[in-house]
């Protein structure tokens, strides 16, 4: 990567396609991660979701180990672990294990959403009782487990303590922005599906940032849906899978990722059009030139320090081609476009 290029990374949900299964998804995830490594992507993140027929990355730390085992240099991380589902000590041990196996390559992004419906969340946690302060307390507790001994309140994370594992705060609202700023941590924003608070959240994060021992300045990474192909028409067809997935999620419930459909937008009701337009507001869909223009405008809007791209694309080879086109664009993006 040229020294003045913006770093670029991938968020993958290890999608289960209609007619496929989780085993196929994991093969595709590793294949895409290896492809991304060759293309100069900095990070490959997977997200924790539960009870979702179209998402295979529920046991996130296990899938991360699968990806890290099959790659050599790319950073591998959680984008993220939904910390309220877990004991901070368990996550410290899991990611301490990953860092011990793959030193210098593991990231830990933390979110406070359940990553599931309420019924599934209760099955995970057994209790949904929590205070607004629980997540910040858990983040601080987790940070302390990674510190060298002496013990944190008489408890040690083994493996875990003394390991330098970067922690990120993830968010889609002002809460995460404020927490990341207060703790002096890097902040990743889920603008690929929750665009409403993007502008305000990034302003709050930057304005309120307090330097920490690890970070002396804010570091902001927003997410953008990217579906790139050789022509605008092909990309629009590929993007119909992602559009169907979000419409289904709101109107019918979660389902496996559907195959693309010609002229899908023309079949939508006004309510469904609103779902697509609002949820997928920050998307770059089209040929190389079309996507290059959209990426440049998004980076100019956000002043991103790093760009996280994601997209649900049904066909594996088309997905690999899309991340290849995106990498070509980001390597060549003029510095002025992100000043």
Spell out the domains of the chain, with CATH numbers in brackets: 8-232+283-338 (3.20.20.30)
Average pLDDT of the segment spanning 238-265: 93
Average pLDDT of the segment spanning 299-317: 95
pLDDT of residue 167: 97
DSSP annotation of 156 reads -
In contact, 37 and 69? CB cutoff 8 Å: no
Average pLDDT of the segment spanning 127-151: 79
Q: Identify the bridge partners of residue 147 per DSSP, sorted by sequence position.
A: none
Half-sphere exposure of 139 (CA within 13 A, CB side): 24
Residue 93, pLDDT above cutoff 90: yes
pLDDT of residue 252: 86
In contact, 159 and 97? CB cutoff 8 Å: yes
Residue with more model confidence, 117 or 163: 163
Residue 299, pLDDT above cutoff 50: yes
Residue with more model confidence, 270 or 338: 270
Q: Identify the bridge partners of residue 45 per DSSP, sorted by sequence position.
A: 11, 77
105-119, 124-138, 279-293: which has the minimum mean pLDDT?
A: 124-138
pLDDT tens-place string over residues 264-287: 989 999 999 999 999 999 999 999
Using the Cα atoms of residue 283, residue 288, residue 289 and residue 295 in order, give the sign of their dihedral: positive
130-139, 193-202, 234-243: which has the minimum mean pLDDT?
A: 130-139
pLDDT of residue 73: 97
In contact, 220 and 303? CB cutoff 8 Å: yes
Rounded CA-CA distance 229/179 in Å is 38
- Cβ within 8 Å of residue 38, ≥6 positions away: none
pLDDT tens-place string over residues 9-31: 999 999 999 999 999 999 999 99
Q: Identify the bridge partners of residue 10 per DSSP, sorted by sequence position.
A: 44, 309
* pLDDT band at residue 133 using 50, 70 and 90 as cut-offs: low
Residue 122, pLDDT above cutoff 90: no
Residue 128, pLDDT above cutoff 90: no
Residue 130, pLDDT above cutoff 60: no
Rounded CA-CA distance 254/268 in Å is 18
Residue 88, pLDDT above cutoff 60: yes
Q: Chain-wide mean pLDDT for the chain?
A: 91
Residue with more model confidence, 185 or 82: 185
DSSP E strands in 229-328: the ranges are 283-286, 307-310
pLDDT of residue 339: 41
* pLDDT band at residue 96 using 50, 70 and 90 as cut-offs: very high
DSSP E strands in the chain: the ranges are 8-12, 43-46, 75-82, 106-111, 167-171, 187-189, 220-228, 283-286, 307-310
In contact, 327 and 41? CB cutoff 8 Å: yes
pLDDT of residue 156: 87
Rounded CA-CA distance 163/102 in Å is 12
Using the Cα atoms of residue 56, residue 57, residue 61 and residue 63 in order, give the sign of their dihedral: positive
Please count the helices (runs of H) and the strands (runs of E) in the chain.
Answer: 11, 9
Average pLDDT of the segment spanning 302-307: 96
Name the percent of the chain lying above pLDDT 70: 90
């Amino acid at each position: 990567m040229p020294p003045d290029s913006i770093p670029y990374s991938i968020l993958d949900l290890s999608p289960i396609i209609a007619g496929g299964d989780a085993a196929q998804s994991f093969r595709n995830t590793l294949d895409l991660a290896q492809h991304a490594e060759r293309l100069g992507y900095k990070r490959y993140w997977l997200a924790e979701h539960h009870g979702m027929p179209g998402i295979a990355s529920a046991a996130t730390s296990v899938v991360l180990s699968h990806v890290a085992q099959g790659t050599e240099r790319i950073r591998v991380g959680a984008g993220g672990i939904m910390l309220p589902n877990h004991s901070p000590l368990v996550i410290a041990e899991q990611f301490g294990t990953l860092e011990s196996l793959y030193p210098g390559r593991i990231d830990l992004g933390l979110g406070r959403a359940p990553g599931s419906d309420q019924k599934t969340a209760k099955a995970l946690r057994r209790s949904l009782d929590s205070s607004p302060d629980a997540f910040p307390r858990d983040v601080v507790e987790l940070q302390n487990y990674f510190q060298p001994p002496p013990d944190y309140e008489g408890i040690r994370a083994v493996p875990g303590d003394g390991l330098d594992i970067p922690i990120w705060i993830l968010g889609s609202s002002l809460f995460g922005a404020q927490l990341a700023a207060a703790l002096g941590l890097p902040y990743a924003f889920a603008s690929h599906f929750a665009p409403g608070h993007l502008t305000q959240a990034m302003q709050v994060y930057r304005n309120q940032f307090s330097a920490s021992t690890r970070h002396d300045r804010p570091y902001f990474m927003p997410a953008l849906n990217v579906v790139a192909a050789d022509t605008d028409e092909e990309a629009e067809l590929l993007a119909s899978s992602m559009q169907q997935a979000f419409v289904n999620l709101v109107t019918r419930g979660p389902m496996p990722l559907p195959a693309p459909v010609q002229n899908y937008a023309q079949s939508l009701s006004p309510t469904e059009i609103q779902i697509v337009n609002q949820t997928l507001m920050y998307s770059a869909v089209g040929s190389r030139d079309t996507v290059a223009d959209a990426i440049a405008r998004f980076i100019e809007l956000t002043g991103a320090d790093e760009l996280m791209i994601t997209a649900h694309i049904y066909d594996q080879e088309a997905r690999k081609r899309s991340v290849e086109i995106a990498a070509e664009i980001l390597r060549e993006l003029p510095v002025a476009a992100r000043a």
